Structure 1
Amino acid sequence: MKSFFKLLLTTILSAFCISFVAEAAIVINDYTMPKDLPEKYKSSLFSVLVEGEVIDTYKVGLNAWNNEVACCEFSSVDSVGITVTTNFSFSSARILPRDADIQCIINGNHLTFTMPFPQNVTIVFDEDFHGNTLHIFAQQQKNNTIKKNDDNIIYFGPGYYDYSSLPPLQIESGKILYLDAGAVLRGRVLISDATDVKICGHGIILDDFTTSDEYDSVALTLKNSNHVTIQDITILRNAASWSAFMWKCGNISVNNVKIINPKYACSDGFDIGNSHNVTFNHMFIRSCDDSIAIKGTGNYGYNVAENPAITQANYAISVYNTQVWCDTNNALGIGAETVAAYYDNIQFKNIDILYNYDDLTYPDQFKERSALNICALNATNISNITYEDIRLEKGKQLISVTMPNDFWFGSMKGNWNWNGSFSRITYRNIVSYSDGSNVIQLFGRDSRHTVSDILFDNIKVNGSIIDLDSPLFKTNKYTKRVRFCRNGIITQEKNGPFGANVHNAALEFSEGYQGRNQWFYRTWTNGIGNENMIWNSDGSYHWRGSHNYDAIWMYNNTLYIHPDTDQSMLEWEAPYAGTVQIDGNVRKYSTLGGDGVTVSIWKNNTLVWPQDGWRTIPYNDNVGLSYDFAFDVSRGDILSFRVDEGGDNAYDTTIWDANIVYNSYRSY
């Protein structure tokens, strides 16, 4: 009997202990750094404890502002307590994404918080998105049932493998590349002309170098391949070139892949080129250029409409349940290269954009950049695009759809010789918490290249629903059929085309006709007053004043002004009474010499910007001055954008991006 009770007591205690263990936090610290990993890859700014266990932290590199970007990874099966210690001082910290709703406690240079379940989070200190940043990847417990001795498996166990001096590790058809947790492969991986390939495991591809061999200098490349699965790996890239890229591929699944590349710039996260049936799910991407870009890079010079086999289409592409951080360019983009037969059935859903900036060197100059972006350099048809359930924490422009002539100061040229338009684009449940401009712009190019059938359903900026009347919403006359909805019910609809409410000096530039689209090209001389410039069609195609170099002209969709003795003036006459929003940028084009220019904006004979008088732009300032303000106009009022020389007119060519939008108007 005594033995029976002893057995019973043991059974009860065992059951109690099993229950207790099941409820306790379990941390699997199987991501230990290799012992021979070079010190430069180890973070000295951050140390991390999870349930009291030390979690190794990687220094990925420095961001564009020379601050550290670091990350760490571990597995857990339940809620865990995390302590982060820094070797720098801070007064506040925030854990992103916002919807994770994780609060932290700060004590000196320590912060603690509870992570309720495995997920990816980012810590921003003192609200400085350009500062030192830590990304924490908490993973579900991994299933390590790999058969290491299988001939079809290329296995890397825990350890450091330096393949940087070798060609890319090429994975052939039917093979599996398995990077176990704790494995760091410094090198490149290539899948080319292959099918049924898998890359998996919880290890790291580390690529902090560039090469000059015949292969792409990209950490992970897929070319002309089909039925490929990539899951669970981490790519740490620290170089000014792409991180991962697929080209002319089909049936690709990318799941739970983490990519960080903080190097400025050209450091795209994952680019998709001329591919179809692609699914991204549960991704984390931090880049210092486009985070996710769907490009057409197939065979430049070919008419995409006439050569669909050569310029393969992008279609059936989905990005789900993902976080992105983009220090430069576009967070979720289509383009800018669009040499593809067409784009169709592309969706981005349930995505947190933690950060989106335009450019370190030229802030506020690239008006086509945005968090949600379609920027086509090459004419093609883009249709059935959906952005849904997307949250922008901090950024500049929210949405942009444009068709420019070129990109990056003319270094990438476009081609609009054939037809191609954008249609059936949906933005649903888009929320911005950002303190940026939050501009939403839709700009068609001409009557052959239009933007149409656009649906906005529940677009909220800092708590306010955006509609057609919002000053954030900008279009041109080549935009048609736009609807605004709330919960699927149409509240506003304009069949278009737009145009009466939007004027852009470059888009509406007139060759040979004063007053077309309300624009005039004039000079002002002290003692004489205003004079119309004369159109010069002898090959220079400039509006010319009475002196040798005063001129206004347009080239590659950019408007240029040059003064000479007198002021060169770009002027616009208000067709209606109402309230207009004036925004743009003015900057030097020629930076080789001279003594700069002075600039101003006038309403009739009253200076309206800058309010403290004419402003000087130094000879070498190609960033210039930006402005954005509103005031009332009466019909016939003249808005004058003026450029004057400094001491002389040498090297005075000036770029002026001038936009005028009616926030409200009366057609009389």
Structure 2
Amino acid sequence: MKISMYVTSLVKLVFLVLLVLQVSVAFPFDNKPPALAVYSAPANAELNTDFTVKVRQHSQPWKTLPVHLVKVDQVKGAKHTTENASMSYFDFSGEVEVSVTYNKGNIKQSRIRPLSYNIPHTVKGRTVIFKLYRPANLSVEINGDIFHNLHLFANPINTFTPDKRDTNLLYYGPGIHEVKGKILKVPSGKTVYLAGGAILRAQILIKDASNVRVLGSGMVDIAVKQGVRIANSKNVLIEGIFCTQCFTGGSDSVTIRNVKSMSYYGWGDGMNVMSSTNVLFDGVFNRNSDDCTTVYGTRLGFTGSSRNVTMQNSTLWADVAHPILIGTHGNTPNPDTLENLNYINIDILDHKEAQIDYQGCLSIDAGDNNLVRNVRFENIRIEDFRQGQLVNIRVFFNSKYCTSPGRGVENVLLKDITYNGKNAGMSIIAGYNEERKVKNIVFENLVINGQLISDDMKEKPAWYKTTDMANISVGEHVEGIVFRKR
């Protein structure tokens, strides 16, 4: 009996450790004392009554969170419809308990995503209850409804203390803030602080500036397209806020950390990078009505190559188009190079695209004479998306958006990629001609529905290609595809 109790306790301890590790993937460990910060909604803020959300620390009274109205894009056939979803946020350290009550009816089914976080929860009547031990960006979904779900952003405690006497601080406290012309242009050396409970009804524009920070837990209003725009600037930090889009063009040394991007309108790309270098996305959440994140060369008045771009510890949800897209746009007369691109420790929650030319969770489509090289996809967990492909790597000429095919795709590592689901279509890898090839593509520890795909896998008939086992169509002008174990 004692041995059995000891084993049971040990199993529970191991489970708890694993849970803490999963939830903390997007945020570093810290030794801060327990803390909890919640924020009231401003008067006249748009709210949604689908959920009642509460949070508390151990043995403390519950605190009710505002549930903000956010909008998402649902594609029905070839038509786009805007759906009303929910969003709540708070800041904490230590351990908290969360209560989510579904006000629209009974709970027949519930889940909390990303699924890889393995967050256990209990259902009591119409209420889902669970604990968090580290910050996380989550989707709470009831009865399989992904378009009227709760987006719950549990942020780390904000360590920045705004000094309102600081002449370099642009402070926006709790409340709704209007800006003349709907654009807040931020000069060099300034810090913009959006406090929790603040809603800014203007675009944050960082143009021809350096040493700029945008901090806080507040929001740029969902009606503001391209809520944050960084153009021809250097040394920029965006951290903690919510907005529709966060764009980077012609810039150097940009960090975007724990930013939540949600869009619902046409061309609603989440976090585009054009002609920029040294860009880091860390712990971001993207749910977008077009590509979640892209890397291009010359485009929209920005010129030159893109290099050293990393996205890590993040969550991507493409209601339309690609979660990740690299390479489409560039400069045919003066070719660009897109290189040293890294996507590490990412959860992909959805991908929905009926047009085959624009499918691919992990997509490199080299056009406009771009050369794409040295790309790393690592530790990426792909859930069962609605429609599309797992991988799309091509040198192509898309006459709708390009003026020439790309120069090539070289040196791509796809390591520790997992997919569990049944909706993935056939992936594509294809070059263009003998001068414009796809070369040196390495899959390491690719796991599809629990099956490890490798060149020496026992399940593969001798007359099959490994790509047959991975459901990948390989076209002409491709060389050096390898599937290996870790």
TM score, norm. by length of structure 1: 0.61
Matching of residue 219 in structure 1 with residue 227 in structure 2: yes
Counterpart among 141, 149, 153 of residue 133 in structure 1 = 149
Matching of residue 428 in structure 1 with residue 423 in structure 2: no
Cα deviation 1:496-534 (Å, max 9, x = unaligned): xxxxxxxxxxxxxxxxxxxxxxxxxxxxxxxxxxxxxxx
Structure 1 residues 179 and 484: CA distance shift in structure 2, 3 A: same
SS at the partner of 2:279? strand
Question: Do 1:58 and 1:70's aligned partners in 2 also have CA atoms closer than 8 Å?
Answer: yes
Look at both structures and tell me which one has the larger radius of gyration over its CA atoms: 1
Aligned to 1:28: 37
SS at the partner of 1:99? helix
Matching of residue 354 in structure 1 with residue 355 in structure 2: no
User: Mapping of 1:147-296 within 5 angstroms?
Assistant: 147-163=163-179, 166-209=181-224, 218-235=226-243, 237=244, 243-261=245-263, 263-296=264-297
Question: Do 2:453 and 2:470's aligned partners in 1 also have CA atoms closer than 8 Å?
Answer: no
Matching of residue 71 in structure 1 with residue 78 in structure 2: no
Aligned to 1:343: 338
Cα deviation 1:584-623 (Å, max 9, x = unaligned): xxxxxxxxxxxxxxxxxxxxxxxxxxxxxxxxxxxxxxxx
Rounded to whole Å, the distance in 2 between the matches of 1:383 and 1:443 is: 15
Counterpart among 448, 457, 462 of residue 435 in structure 2 = 448
Rounded to whole Å, the distance in 1 between the matches of 2:303 and 2:133 is: 47
Q: Is there any run of 5+ residues in structure 1 with no aligned partner, and where?
A: 1-21, 210-216, 238-242, 301-309, 488-668
Rounded to whole Å, the distance in 1 between the matches of 2:33 and 2:98 is: 15
Greater RCO (CA < 8 Å, at least 6 residues apart): 2
User: Mapping of 1:193-592 within 5 angstroms?
Assistant: 193-209=208-224, 218-235=226-243, 237=244, 243-261=245-263, 263-298=264-299, 311-339=303-331, 341-358=336-353, 363=354, 365-395=355-385, 396-406=388-398, 411-416=400-405, 420-437=407-424, 439-467=426-454, 468=466, 469-470=468-469, 472-487=471-486
Aligned to 1:662: none
Structure 1 residue 341, shift from structure 2 partner: 1.4
The one-letter code matched in structure 2 to 1:392 is I
Aligned to 1:534: none
Identity rate, percent: 25
Aligned to 2:63: 53
Rounded to whole Å, the distance in 1 between the matches of 2:33 and 2:434 is: 65
Question: Do 2:329 and 2:370's aligned partners in 1 also have CA atoms closer than 8 Å?
Answer: no
Rounded to whole Å, the distance in 2 between the matches of 1:368 and 1:187 is: 31
Cα deviation 1:446-490 (Å, max 9, x = unaligned): 112110011000111110123424150211121111111101xxx
Structure 1 residue 117, shift from structure 2 partner: 2.4
Question: Do 1:180 and 1:201's aligned partners in 2 also have CA atoms closer than 8 Å?
Answer: yes
Structure 1 residue 24, shift from structure 2 partner: 10
Structure 1 residues 94 and 294: CA distance shift in structure 2, 3 A: same
Structure 1 residue 371, shift from structure 2 partner: 0.7
The one-letter code matched in structure 1 to 2:73 is N
Structure 1 residue 244, shift from structure 2 partner: 2.0
SS at the partner of 2:237? strand
What value does the CA root-mean-square deviation take over the aligned residues? 2.1
Question: Do 2:298 and 2:304's aligned partners in 1 also have CA atoms closer than 8 Å?
Answer: no
Structure 1 residue 296, shift from structure 2 partner: 2.4
SS at the partner of 2:116? helix
Rounded to whole Å, the distance in 1 between the matches of 2:415 and 2:84 is: 35
Rounded to whole Å, the distance in 2 between the matches of 1:412 and 1:480 is: 26
Structure 1 residues 86 and 392: CA distance shift in structure 2, 3 A: same
Rounded to whole Å, the distance in 1 between the matches of 2:48 and 2:178 is: 19
Aligned to 1:109: 126
Rounded to whole Å, the distance in 2 between the matches of 1:315 and 1:147 is: 36
Structure 1 residues 47 and 298: CA distance shift in structure 2, 3 A: same
Cα deviation 1:266-305 (Å, max 9, x = unaligned): 11111011100111111111111100111224378xxxxx
The one-letter code matched in structure 2 to 1:382 is V
Rounded to whole Å, the distance in 1 between the matches of 2:298 and 2:319 is: 23
Structure 1 residues 126 and 476: CA distance shift in structure 2, 3 A: same
Rounded to whole Å, the distance in 1 between the matches of 2:231 and 2:41 is: 31
The one-letter code matched in structure 2 to 1:347 is N
Structure 1 residue 338, shift from structure 2 partner: 3.3
- Equivalent pairs counted in the alignment come to 427
TM score, norm. by length of structure 2: 0.83
Aligned to 2:47: 42
Structure 1 residue 87, shift from structure 2 partner: 2.3
Structure 1 residues 219 and 66: CA distance shift in structure 2, 3 A: closer
Rounded to whole Å, the distance in 2 between the matches of 1:56 and 1:276 is: 38
SS at the partner of 1:442? strand
Cα deviation 1:136-168 (Å, max 9, x = unaligned): 1112222242211111111111111123x6141
SS at the partner of 2:327? strand
Structure 1 residue 23, shift from structure 2 partner: 12
Aligned to 1:98: 115
Structure 1 residues 353 and 471: CA distance shift in structure 2, 3 A: closer
Question: Do 2:394 and 2:409's aligned partners in 1 also have CA atoms closer than 8 Å?
Answer: no
SS at the partner of 1:336? coil
Cα deviation 1:549-588 (Å, max 9, x = unaligned): xxxxxxxxxxxxxxxxxxxxxxxxxxxxxxxxxxxxxxxx
Which runs of structure 1 show a deviation greater than 6 angstroms over 4 or more consecutive aligned residues? 22-25
Question: Do 1:92 and 1:106's aligned partners in 2 also have CA atoms closer than 8 Å?
Answer: no
Q: Is there any run of 5+ residues in structure 2 with no aligned partner, and where?
A: 1-30, 57-61, 75-80, 455-465
Structure 1 residues 175 and 27: CA distance shift in structure 2, 3 A: closer
Structure 1 residue 181, shift from structure 2 partner: 1.4
